[in-house]
Amino acid sequence: MAITASLVKELRDRTGLGMMECKKALVESEGDIELAIDNLRKSSGLKAAKKSGRIAAEGILVTRTSADNSLVMLLEINSETDFVARDDNFLNFAHKVADVAFAKGSSDVAAFMADGLEDERAALVQKIGENISVRRAVFIGGAGKTVEAYVHGGRIAAAVELTGGTPDLAKDIAMHVAAINPQYVNVNDVPADVLAREEEVVRAQSEESGKPAEIIEKMMVGRLKKFVAEISLSEQPFIKDPDIKIGALAKKAEAEIVSFTRFEVGEGIEKEVVDFAAEVAAAVKGG
């Protein structure tokens, strides 16, 4: 029986597996799609392992906060597509992983995925047909701290650690961090090398103006001051009330910002662009 593109596509739609994998299964089953599915199911462990190399840059961010608001965790779990990231099976698994990781108090993915969770991940990979990766977890806070997290659409999450203040204040600041994406807590936290690079850029731009050297120096001071304020959380206007800066907001509540963490799904992962038409053509040509 001829292995047509439509037959390969049907198997892919029913299993979620790759085009070439489906074509190979159909060749081995001589075009019998039900037999191909049975054979693929029998080799589930192998298939799950093969999917582990595929790029998973979509997914969800999950948070957990202790009852006393002293400790918070951010967790990222990835899938290959946004469609799977909304699947109940994937979401249930993600929340189970978050519960276990938080209970263990561990940011070591390999450690908290032991004792059965890794086997569940592999089984879900086979069931859903996409690679699933538990990418990272981070904890902030501790005894005597006030923490809270904010998640936007499951794709951006931020957590803030304070001394003093309230969980509501920490959540408001976390919301600001999620929306504005500051780089540092205070102006003095900006590293010297970051300032040096920006100074080079500002100097080159200022010198192009043709103004006298003393004017250029004043321009540079002003622009660098603006630059560090824009990337420092404490100097940013509060997103919910631009008339007050975040640092002043915290001080008014007798709090101090210790740290913050911000995650965005898939950040830093190079995404693979798949041309479905070309994949079909390659599969047919290979036959």
- Report pLDDT for 65: 98
Query: Which pTM value belongs to this model?
Result: 0.75
pLDDT tens track for 86-112: 999 999 999 999 999 999 999 999 999
Residue 73 pLDDT class (50, 70, 90 cuts):
very high
Q: For 245-257, what is the mean pLDDT? A: 98
**Residue 232, Cβ density class (10 Å: 0-12 exposed, 13-18 middle, ≥19 buried):** buried
Residue 136 pLDDT class (50, 70, 90 cuts):
very high
- Report pLDDT for 45: 46
Segment holding 256, helix H or strand E = strand 256-264
Pairwise pLDDT comparison (72 vs 19), residue with the higher score: 72
Q: For 121-135, what is the mean pLDDT? A: 90
- Report pLDDT for 277: 59
User: CB-hemisphere CA count at 13 Å for 135?
Assistant: 24
Q: For 256-272, what is the mean pLDDT? A: 90
CB–CB of 88/63 below 8 Å? no
Instruction: Give me the domains of the chain, ranges plus CATH numbers.
Output: 5-53+273-286 (1.10.8.10), 58-186+253-264 (3.30.479.20)
Q: What is the mean pLDDT of the chain?
A: 88
Q: In sequence order, what are the residues at sequence separation of 6 or more whose Cβ sits closer than 8 angstroms to the Cβ of residue 144? A: 70, 163
pLDDT of 20 higher than 70: yes
